[in-house]
Amino acid sequence: MLQGASAGLAAGGLYAVIAVCLTLMARLVRVVNFSQVAIGMFAAYLAVIFAEQHLPQWAATAAGVCVGAVVSGLIGWIIAQWLPEAGIGARSAVSVASLLLLVSLSFILFGSKPKTFKSLLPGPAFSMGNVVVTQVTVVMVALALAVAVGCHVLLTKSKIGTKLRALSERPTTAELLGVPAKGLSIAVWAGTGLISAAAVSIVAPTQTNDPISLSFIIVPASAAALLGGFRRLDLAVVGGLALGMLQGALAQFEQMSVLRYWVPFLIIVVFLLWAERKEVWDVAR
C-alpha cells in the first residue's frame, strides 16, 4: 500500500505540475487548456525522434521541449488574435480542438504504439524501510514544488508578474494603461507549454506512454487544479500529489482497478458540487 502510494507519487508530481500550469492559464489568460498535456506529450515524442537522429539525449529533450513551447505559443497566438474578448468557454473549446489535432498528429508522426523512452533519470533515489523511492519521483515532486513556488514568486514579486495579475483582473483596463496583452498571453502559453513539456519528458518513460494515455493525464490534472478552484497554486500541488498517491495505492488492489479509473471523475464532481453550492445564477444582470 505504501509502496503503491510512493509509486503513484511520480505521477502525482506530474499531475501537480500540470495542475499548476492549468491554474496559471485559467487565471492569467482565461482558458482551461485541455491540450496542456498533449503539448507535453508531443514534445516528449519529438525528443525520441530527435534522439533517434543521434542527438545526445539531453539535447534531444531540450529541442523537444522548445518545440513544445512554440506549439503552445502558437495556440495562444491564435486565441489572442481571434478571441481576445471571448469568454473562458469559447477559448477552452479551441483547446479541445487543439487536443484532438495534436493527438492525431502524433499518431501520424510517431505511430499509436507506446515508444521506448530512454529514461532521463534511471533507478531508485533511496529507500525507506521496504518502500523504494525512485529518482523520477524525487525530481517530479521537487519540480512541482519549484514550479509552484517559482510562479508564485514571479507573480507577486516581479514587474512582469504585476502586469500579468493586472491583465488577469481587468484585461481592458490593463491594455488601456499600456500593458501589452497579446504578447504577455502568448508568453504565458509558451511558458506553461515549456514547463509541461519538461515534466512530461521526465515522467513519460515511467508511464503507459501511448499518445492517448499521456494526453488524458489532463483529467486527473484538471481534477487537481479544480481543488484549487483554478486559482490557488498551493492547493493544486497538494491535490495533484494526493491524487497520484491515491491512485497508486488503489492500483495495489486488482479488484479496485475500475474504481481507480473513476477516482478523478468522482473527485471532480464531488468537489465542484461542494465548491459551487452557493453560486446560483450566471453573469450578473
Partner 1 sequence: MSELILDDVSVSRGSGPVVSGVSLVVKPGSLLTLVGPNGAGKTSLLESISGIVSTSKGNMSLDGVPLGKLSRIKRSRLGLVHVEQGRTVFPSLTVQENLELTAKSPTGVDEALELFPELQKRRSSASGLLSGGEQQMVVLARAFAARPKYLLIDEMSLGLAPVVFLRLLPIIRHIADSGVGILMVEQFAQLALKIADEAIVVTGGRVTYGGPAEPLMTDPALLHRAYLGMAEV
Partner 2 sequence: MLRANSLLARERMKPLAIAVACVLVGWLLSAVLPAYFVFLGTTAIVAMISLLGLGIVTGSAGMMALCQLSFAAVGAWAVSWLNSVDAPGGLVVWLPLGGLAAAAAGVVVGLPALRLRGVNLAVVTLGFAAAADLTLGKIQFPGTQTGIQVARPDLFPGDRRYFLFAVIVLALCSLLVHYLQASRWGSGWKFVAFSERGTASAGTSVTVTKLTAFGAGAFLAGVGGGLLSGQVGLVYPSSFTTIQSLALYVLAIVSGSYLIDMAVLGGILWVLVPELLKRFGISQDWGFVIFGALGIQSLTTGSNLGADLRAMWWRRTQRRRKSAEAPAAADAARAPAVPDAGTKVPAATSQTSAVPAAVRRPTSSAVSGAGALLSVRGLSVTFGHVTALSEVDLDLTEGSVTGLMGPNGAGKSTMVDALAGFLPQHQGTIQLAGQSLNGLSPMDRARLGIRRTFQQDRVPPTLSVGAYVRFIARGQASDERVEELLRFFNCPPPSTQLARVDVGTRRLIEVAANMAASPRLLLLDEPAAGLSHEEHVSFAEQLVQLPDRFGTTLLLIEHDLDMVRSVCNDLVVLNFGEVIASGQRDDVLANPQVMTAYMGELEVS
Give the residue, chosen from 24, 103, 174, 227, that forms a contact with partner 1 under the rule CB under 8 A. 174
Question: Taking CB within 5 to 8 Å according to partner kind, which of partner 2, partner 1, none is near residue 232?
Answer: none
For residue 58, CA distances in Å to 34, 44, 95, 138, 201 come to 28, 12, 29, 19, 11
**Nearer to partner 1 by C-beta: 124 or 180?**
180
Contact segment (CB under 8 A) with partner 1 among 29-37, 117-125, 145-153, 163-171 equals 163-171
Question: Taking CB within 5 to 8 Å according to partner kind, which of partner 1, partner 2, none is near residue 162?
Answer: partner 1
**Nearer to partner 1 by C-beta: 235 or 242?**
235
Give the residue, chosen from 37, 99, 199, 214, that forms a contact with partner 2 under the rule CB under 8 A. 99
Please check whether residue 62 is in contact with residue 46, taking contact to mean a CB–CB distance below 8 angstroms. no
- Please report, in angstroms and rounded to a whole number, the separation of the first and last CA atoms in the chain: 52
**How far is Cα 167 from Cα 179, in angstroms, rounded to an integer?**
8
Q: Exposed (0-12), middle (13-18) or buried (19+): which is 145, by Cβ within 10 Å? A: middle
Cell of 229: 478552484
Give the residue, chosen from 81, 104, 112, 162, that forms a contact with partner 1 under the rule CB under 8 A. 162
**How far is Cα 67 from Cα 194, in angstroms, rounded to an integer?**
8
Strand partners, 134: 124
Give the residue, chosen from 104, 127, 172, 257, that forms a contact with partner 1 under the rule CB under 8 A. 172
**How far is Cα 102 from Cα 162, in angstroms, rounded to an integer?**
33
Residues that bind partner 1 in the complex, under the rule CB under 8 A? 159, 162-163, 165-166, 169-170, 172-181
Residues that bind partner 2 in the complex, under the rule CB under 8 A? 32, 34, 78-79, 81-83, 87-90, 92-94, 96-105, 107-108, 212, 216, 218-219, 222-223, 226, 257-258, 261-262, 264-265, 268-269, 272-273, 276-277, 279-282, 285
